[in-house]
Structure 1
Amino acid sequence: MSKQTSRKQSTGKQAPRTQPPGKQAARKETAPKQASDGRVPAPAPAPAPETAGSPTTELSRRRLLGTVGAAGAAGLVVGGAGGAFGASALRDEAPEALTSIGSTRVAFRAAGGGHQAGITTPLQATGHLVAFDLAPGTDRKAAAALLRRWSRTAEELMAGRAPDADTGVALDAGPSSLTVTFGFGHSFFGRTGLTKRRPAELDPLPDFSADALDPDRSNGDLWIQIGADDALVAFHALRALQKDAAGRARPRWQMNGFNRTPGATAHPMTARNLMGQIDGTNNPKPSDRDFDERIFVGREAEQAWMRGGSYAVVRRIRMLLDDWEKRSRHDQEKVIGRRKDNGAPLTGGSETTPMRLDENRPDGLPVIPANAHARIAAPESNQGAAMLRRPFSYHDGFREDGAPDAGLLFICWQADPLRAFTQIQRKLDRGDALSPFLRHEASGLFAVPPAAEPGDYVGRPLLEG
């Protein structure tokens, strides 16, 4: 786990959420502007179509929002004539506009080879990671049909609309910054007869001395990352995509995570992990001159279908919190190389002050210890190697010995895993002071192609090219 390359969001700090327009603006038929990170405020939907003398034939996920506010009072009046829901669903007035977290929407599609959502999108409060294996007999054509269906469902959900045969879990919620990101594992290419189109960057990761990996919770043919600022919206997306996969793919493993909810702090700030450390200070930023070069696959890539895409390394890293919390704050700061209260390097300044790795104490020893996590993971210590970290925390109850089964769902993005994650992890593997407090228990590497263009689906250039 690399603290130096983590991030809360694409700017290194949480950006304020886009506020929705007022009622009048919400009713205008103008397209909302898309922000630089892909989010746009979700407009209030038009009333669902009706036929004379019949109830509404269809309700969008957002449509129901305008019905629930009057549910209690309407129930007293309508009684047995269909209840509050039946009465309010027939009204003509537009639903109330969503506010705050529920109103934000991230675009699913991107014209001109844009990146999938969920990579540079500001980190959401709730996440699900799930890997699938193709069902026996599922060929390339069937896999394409699955990706086509998944893309259609993801687009509907991210826009705040309910897909076909909806479960109703998130009927009264807006998009809530939902993102759905799709990737392909190493084994996918052999199962679909596409071995010649498998990128070299997808070769299996090497073994590390700290690994204690469970093969049943690692790898997979297909991978989906789901993020949202509302837990029900995230679960709704997970359930819909699992249902879409029936008969074509079966879940291999699933991991559930969380982060701080937007607005929970007095001002936007970098998140803390379960060790209490500010985690995400030195992440690459889109404003960096070489950001795209480090994070996204370039035009010169041999496999054209991956140009503009990225590679995701996924690791389930359990934190030995009982052991960590026994250490004094002073000792914890020496292990990390940064102050616990504000994330500043031990050489002084604020969270964003560059570390002075050559500064020594009066006794001649470095102020930031030689084995401090921040020093070893720094780009300066790794020939400039950097990766975009976008993790979730997790807590899966308690182990048999009573210790919490909790830690980090580590997700990092890079143009070349060998030159980023593998290079940094090898360095950490040889003497990181944080390693004794961590256990790497699951791992995966996935090729994440660019976003689907209008009228297309994710992965079509691979599956039909």
Structure 2
Amino acid sequence: MEGRRDRADLRHRPDDRLQERADRLNRTMAEQSLPVVAEGAATEERPASGQGISRRALLGTVGATGLVLGAAGGAVGYAAAPAAATPLTSVGSDEVMFHGKHQPGITEGLQARGHLVAFDLAAGAGRKEAAALLRRWSETARRLMAGEATGSHDTDVARDAGPSSLTLTFGFGHSFFSRTGLEKQRPVALDPLPDFSSDQLDKARSNAVLWVQIGADDALVAFHALRAVQKDAGSAAKVRWQMNGFNRTPGATAHPMTARNLMGQLDGTRNPKPDESDFDQRVFVPESGTPAWMANGSYAVVRRIRMLLDDWEKLSLGTQEAVIGRRKANGAALSGGTETTAMDLEKTDAKGDLLVPVNAHARITRPDQNGGAAILRRPFSYHDGIDADGTPDAGLLFVCWQADPLRGFVPLQRKLDRGDALSQYIRHESSGLFAVPGGAAEGEYVGQRLLEG
């Protein structure tokens, strides 16, 4: 997959950054008169006296127990030694590359923690300030995604952690182009989305000049990146809105599987797969696309969708499955088979009724029912507390990717608007559309071909 290092390769090939981290931790422990940490397993090589933590000890393996050896050789727990001494697990050591053909955070798997944050340029800020900001953000993203500190003023929030699959993704809203004097470079595909009958949008939490998506498999790593992005904005931009999300933590299930949303349903069964022949055509702007600066980029539709969970949870299991068109337990279509079995839209029961109801969500969203329209869903769940009446403010931070929203999200949402059984159990509360340029090459920053072209 573009931009990601092989996990096994990362797990078994420690690099210079890990050695630097080990040296830094050893210096810290020496200053505090703390014992040097030995390797996590009896069969592992121990560092010679005075050498401190090795790269191998710092990287660790999936089976690391989290115990360290004290000066007397006895095992002590986390409370008796600094957390920094614990070897990184495979989750912590996973790294996504910043530089590449596409920006990170699009084709990678779902991450355990996410932040979506949107900015407006400050009064008087224009193209020059935007270019400087994207340059700062890109360098910060490169450092953090490699597991490095942001610089001399790093907050140390993620000091003890590895990259943890951190990704930062940057996009431009419709108004970015008027603010920077680049109206002629605004893509037609970035025209405002049409109104939908299910919309109850809060304008204060919709759209923006700039958009940043942050994802990681560790909450502190993700927050660290969020704070760094906000600080980098300085006087050039101010936060318009910010949303926090989550997914299941890697390793929480016996084997990798499609994620579940807060309704308990498997969510993303029919997502396009990178190994499909038309994947790039559906998700990314082609090299020959227009405008030229969007080559290898994509368009992100961002929607905060509140789930009316109290109403949903009153439904019987059978009714919930009829609304979706799939079994809750395993994601299989109601027409039979497994999660990956093709849905039989014509199959009926003994009474002649369609097994997959005509207004079932899974039926309506099938590409072959929408002229081939398809999107790559990459959402986060969210929970923003409980209202005064006891109603949970929870649902989905829906993020979908496509080469052209007018051929992806828009026709699908229009179809859903006309009769999706799920619509009475959800509410679209905010919306945004952003042009996400292709990845930055070595030595470039995101958006450089637009801002300096």
Cα deviation digits, residues 210-253 of structure 1 (max 9, x gap): 00000000000000000000000000000011000010000000
Counterpart secondary structure, 1:106: coil
Cα 1:92/1:16, change in 2 over 3 Å = closer
Cα deviation digits, residues 271-312 of structure 1 (max 9, x gap): 100000011100001111111111001133220000110000
Cα 1:406/1:46, change in 2 over 3 Å = same
Query: Partner amino acid for 1:150?
Result: W
C-alpha separation between the residues in 2 aligned to 1:368 and 1:414? 27
Q: 1:109 is matched with which residue?
A: 99
What's the offset of the Cα at 1:399?
1.6
Any conservation in 1 of the 2:11–2:90 contact (CA below 8 Å)? no
Give the one of 172, 178, 181 matched to 1:184. 172
Counterpart secondary structure, 2:178: helix
Any conservation in 1 of the 2:149–2:159 contact (CA below 8 Å)? yes
Q: 1:271 is matched with which residue?
A: 259
Q: What are the within-5 Å matches in structure 2 for residues 329-368 of structure 1?
A: 329-368=317-356
Query: Partner amino acid for 2:19?
Result: A
C-alpha separation between the residues in 1 aligned to 2:90 and 2:27? 19
Q: What are the within-5 Å matches in structure 2 for residues 42-81 of structure 1?
A: 44-47=17-20, 64=24, 74=34
C-alpha separation between the residues in 2 aligned to 1:269 and 1:390? 14
Any conservation in 2 of the 1:65–1:171 contact (CA below 8 Å)? no
Give the one of 112, 128, 136 matched to 1:125. 112
> TM-score when scaled to structure 2?
0.86
Cα 1:304/1:348, change in 2 over 3 Å = same
C-alpha separation between the residues in 2 aligned to 1:378 and 1:322? 28
Q: 2:388 is matched with which residue?
A: 400
What's the offset of the Cα at 1:138?
0.6
Q: How many residues align?
A: 407
Sequence identity of aligned pairs in percent? 64
Q: What are the within-5 Å matches in structure 2 for residues 133-172 of structure 1?
A: 133-164=120-151, 165-172=153-160
**CA RMSD of the aligned region, Å?**
2.2
Any conservation in 1 of the 2:26–2:52 contact (CA below 8 Å)? no
Q: What are the within-5 Å matches in structure 2 for residues 362-441 of structure 1?
A: 362-441=350-429
Structure 1, unmatched stretches of 5+, are 1-8, 28-42, 48-59, 77-89
Any conservation in 2 of the 1:16–1:268 contact (CA below 8 Å)? no
Bigger Cα displacement from structure 2, 64-73 vs 380-389: 64-73
Give the one of 283, 291, 307 matched to 2:279. 291
Q: 2:436 is matched with which residue?
A: 448
C-alpha separation between the residues in 2 aligned to 1:71 and 1:327? 61
Q: 1:193 is matched with which residue?
A: 181
What's the offset of the Cα at 1:176?
0.3
Q: What are the within-5 Å matches in structure 2 for residues 306-345 of structure 1?
A: 306-345=294-333
Any conservation in 1 of the 2:377–2:398 contact (CA below 8 Å)? yes
C-alpha separation between the residues in 2 aligned to 1:415 and 1:213? 25
Cα deviation digits, residues 357-382 of structure 1 (max 9, x gap): 11122222211000000001111110
C-alpha separation between the residues in 2 aligned to 1:338 and 1:167? 46
C-alpha separation between the residues in 1 aligned to 2:258 and 2:422? 20
Query: Partner amino acid for 1:45?
Result: L
Q: Which has the higher contact order (CA 8 A, sep 6+)?
A: 1
What's the offset of the Cα at 1:340?
0.5
Any conservation in 1 of the 2:247–2:380 contact (CA below 8 Å)? yes
C-alpha separation between the residues in 2 aligned to 1:394 and 1:70? 42
Q: 1:99 is matched with which residue?
A: 89
C-alpha separation between the residues in 2 aligned to 1:71 and 1:271? 45
C-alpha separation between the residues in 2 aligned to 1:71 and 1:124? 36
C-alpha separation between the residues in 2 aligned to 1:287 and 1:428? 28
Any conservation in 1 of the 2:307–2:396 contact (CA below 8 Å)? yes
Query: Partner amino acid for 2:449?
Result: P
What's the offset of the Cα at 1:66?
5.7
Cα deviation digits, residues 438-459 of structure 1 (max 9, x gap): 0000000000001110001000
Query: Partner amino acid for 2:190?
Result: L
Query: Partner amino acid for 1:134?
Result: L
Any conservation in 1 of the 2:29–2:35 contact (CA below 8 Å)? no
Any conservation in 2 of the 1:20–1:99 contact (CA below 8 Å)? no
Counterpart secondary structure, 1:189: helix
Cα 1:263/1:138, change in 2 over 3 Å = same
Query: Partner amino acid for 1:74?
Result: L
What's the offset of the Cα at 1:93?
4.9
C-alpha separation between the residues in 2 aligned to 1:290 and 1:213? 33
C-alpha separation between the residues in 2 aligned to 1:155 and 1:395? 30
Query: Partner amino acid for 1:422?
Result: V
What's the offset of the Cα at 1:99?
2.2
Match status 1:303 vs 2:306: no
Any conservation in 2 of the 1:19–1:100 contact (CA below 8 Å)? no
Any conservation in 2 of the 1:298–1:307 contact (CA below 8 Å)? yes
What's the offset of the Cα at 1:92?
5.9
Cα deviation digits, residues 422-443 of structure 1 (max 9, x gap): 0000000000000000000000
Any conservation in 2 of the 1:64–1:172 contact (CA below 8 Å)? no
Q: 1:258 is matched with which residue?
A: 246
Query: Partner amino acid for 1:363?
Result: K
Any conservation in 1 of the 2:168–2:212 contact (CA below 8 Å)? yes
Structure 2, unmatched stretches of 5+, are 37-49, 60-87
Query: Partner amino acid for 1:231?
Result: A
